[in-house]
Structure 1
């Protein structure tokens, strides 16, 4: 893996993090932000989700600095790693205890090898305007939310089993994860020997970006700007905030992101799918399609629901990824694709005729995720939805001393 280093973290002085933290900026709508900001004048969204006019990034930066000056945020006295634990019940009903580490990940160009390892993309990304995150980074000179990486180095989960110094805990009530809550726990690690051991283990192999491809790309652009402005390649911009967990089954909770199709005639869409799949009609209620989706893809339309079973031999030369099978089947069909997690969202999109049809897909297997990493392959866009989402605000990383 490329360099992964401890840093002096900015943390909220108040240990009651419930009113202060937030989900990632890219899953929030305006009503979500309103609700979060109503909790506290110091909710992280006042910095991480700039609102207002053309000066909103400068306002966010000034707010961040005010919080530091007032002691709302406190800079750690020494560099550290932060163990981040997520305890929850997943969609299958299994209890999970995921542990990763927050640190500063080296920013590398595509295909570059630091000498220790590479940072590898996980899937093809969809076009997205990254100006917002770049402007915010320029103004605040800080990493506010982490990239999520998966380390191919064996043994990280075991190394993180020993607790560190408790620095925060939050209980999140949630729906859709198979249980009533997610417990988020943060523990600081400053012991020099343990810091060195974690860094050395992670230096042994590559890291696969699971979530945050655009944030990593923004970090690369910002690094290049700093290099051009300073003539230096040893500033804080050479690294970015990252959460890294081990790429093993018990440290991953992966859910699918379903496909919503529009801009096409339903008959044409069905005809294209039938060349590659056998369509078998099934009940279209939530419980039936959810249960079936555990083992098969499901086509949803206003006319009903159908199980999709590949015809013999049609995908012999195609990797076993539902998203890739659908891309193959619909190649040449002029269709618009949107991506959304959740069976309810797919059923609603079809019922409300926002989509002509939806296809419920299954998440990729651990074997395919590992193959993607080892062979340098890319999955189709939006192949995986890693859960639970990391909280923003527990650990911030200044880019300057």
Structure 2
């Protein structure tokens, strides 16, 4: 089972955190970064999304060190966990109060490398260049944004119900983000022991976790040690229960294929019924209309009940390129603008399938889940000492 440890956090010294924080780097485009950096010369994107030439990572590290030297950020006196609360209204209109904990999660070997259980992936990942994050980690010697994990250990939400010491609050886009520091030794021990009692499933941040594994291996090779900070990585962990999850779908956009060929392939597995395009159903969108996709009897016998997996089976052997986007309007616009030949609206997997993925060591198709809302980067940074 994985280690999950408190650490001395690096935090901004400011009453108002809103100008300083940012969404995760991988959801930002250039315009987003421009807007964030216009808020403050100390916005975390100056470190987390470095710009420029090959020296940008060194300059990011210099910026972070400059903030330390001038008191823009400061290191906590003692090790802590940080409770991170997210309060919002989800896509169904239900009020949510999600509570997780930020700490240092053990970096374990990949299952393909014979790694032990403890920290498990939940979906296959698409190819992605990890050089940027690795170079940034090497230069800054810090974890800047957390991996999102789901603990299979029951009782974490209850353990986090009691407030900690308030250290920050931001309300943005209808989401209240609250951070509370926990330093009481008994409570630290209770959180650590509970999370060490069962597996943690990676919900978001598979690539970040893989980068942490590469960095750990580099530090081991350079030092001959297996007791450095590189053995763990910054993670937000919440309990894998329904009221602590807000999961939205990631829809499929298809190119490189004729609509007729795509439709023919789908019709072998699905009955197509004309409908109005809407979330909550498996729906094919083309320039000519929208059709609900209902599985034909027996078409997916022996196949897990995942929309993404059904589509993979139905389109196997068809020369088609697929891209992934959240939002029904984005799918409609992509088809209308001819940026996609067609799109398919999918449904997010249910809690039972997510739990099955974890317990049976299975993997979902790429981009099966979109966990919301996105965590803020910058409220808690984790230095990586030797």
Q: Does 1:188 align with 2:184?
A: no
Could you list the per-position Cα deviations for residues 92-132 of structure 1 after superposition, in whole angstroms to 9, with x for gaps in the alignment? 00000000000000000013666xx5100010000000000
CA distance in 2, matches of 1:22, 1:110: 29
Q: What is residue 327 of structure 1 aligned with on the other side?
A: 312
Could you say what secondary structure the match of 2:335 adopts? Answer: helix
CA distance in 1, matches of 2:176, 2:140: 29
CA distance in 2, matches of 1:200, 1:39: 40
> Which residues in structure 2 correspond to 1:228-377 (within 5 Å)?
228-283=221-276, 289-290=277-278, 293-294=279-280, 296-377=281-362
Could you say what secondary structure the match of 2:213 adopts? Answer: helix
Q: Please, which of 212, 216, 236 is the counterpart of residue 223 of structure 1?
A: 216
CA distance in 1, matches of 2:319, 2:368: 21
CA distance in 1, matches of 2:16, 2:381: 16
CA distance in 2, matches of 1:328, 1:189: 47
C-alpha contact (below 8 Å) 1:33/1:45 kept by paired residues: yes
CA distance in 1, matches of 2:40, 2:204: 28
Q: What is residue 66 of structure 1 aligned with on the other side?
A: 66
Could you say what secondary structure the match of 1:61 adopts? Answer: helix
Relative to the length of structure 1, the TM-score reads 0.95
Could you list the per-position Cα deviations for residues 223-254 of structure 1 after superposition, in whole angstroms to 9, with x for gaps in the alignment? 01011111111111000000000000000000
Q: Does 1:88 align with 2:80?
A: no
Q: Which runs of 5+ in 2 are unaligned?
A: none
Q: Cα offset for 1:15?
A: 2.2
C-alpha contact (below 8 Å) 1:100/1:160 kept by paired residues: yes
Could you list the per-position Cα deviations for residues 137-162 of structure 1 after superposition, in whole angstroms to 9, with x for gaps in the alignment? 00000000000000000000000000
Moved over 2 A (4+): 111-114
Q: Please, which of 365, 371, 384 is the counterpart of residue 369 of structure 2?
A: 384
Q: Which runs of 5+ in 1 are unaligned?
A: 174-180, 284-288
CA distance in 1, matches of 2:74, 2:110: 35
Q: Cα offset for 1:271?
A: 0.2
Q: What is residue 47 of structure 1 aligned with on the other side?
A: 47
CA distance in 1, matches of 2:274, 2:171: 42
Q: What is residue 56 of structure 2 aligned with on the other side?
A: 56
Q: What is residue 198 of structure 1 aligned with on the other side?
A: 191
Q: Does 1:394 align with 2:382?
A: no
CA distance in 2, matches of 1:383, 1:50: 29
Q: What is residue 177 of structure 1 aligned with on the other side?
A: none
Could you list the per-position Cα deviations for residues 48-99 of structure 1 after superposition, in whole angstroms to 9, with x for gaps in the alignment? 0010111000000000000000000000000000000000000000000000
CA distance in 2, matches of 1:346, 1:126: 20
CA distance in 1, matches of 2:115, 2:131: 27
Could you say what secondary structure the match of 2:235 adopts? Answer: strand
CA distance in 1, matches of 2:50, 2:134: 12
Could you say what secondary structure the match of 1:312 adopts? Answer: coil
Q: What is residue 15 of structure 1 aligned with on the other side?
A: 15
Could you say what secondary structure the match of 2:123 adopts? Answer: coil
How many residues align? The count is 384
C-alpha contact (below 8 Å) 1:2/1:113 kept by paired residues: no
CA distance in 1, matches of 2:351, 2:155: 17
CA distance in 2, matches of 1:245, 1:136: 26
CA distance in 2, matches of 1:302, 1:160: 49
CA distance in 1, matches of 2:321, 2:53: 32
Could you say what secondary structure the match of 1:150 adopts? Answer: strand
Could you list the per-position Cα deviations for residues 318-353 of structure 1 after superposition, in whole angstroms to 9, with x for gaps in the alignment? 000000000000000000000000001100100000
CA distance in 2, matches of 1:281, 1:101: 45
Could you say what secondary structure the match of 1:314 adopts? Answer: coil
Relative to the length of structure 2, the TM-score reads 0.98
Q: What is residue 137 of structure 1 aligned with on the other side?
A: 137
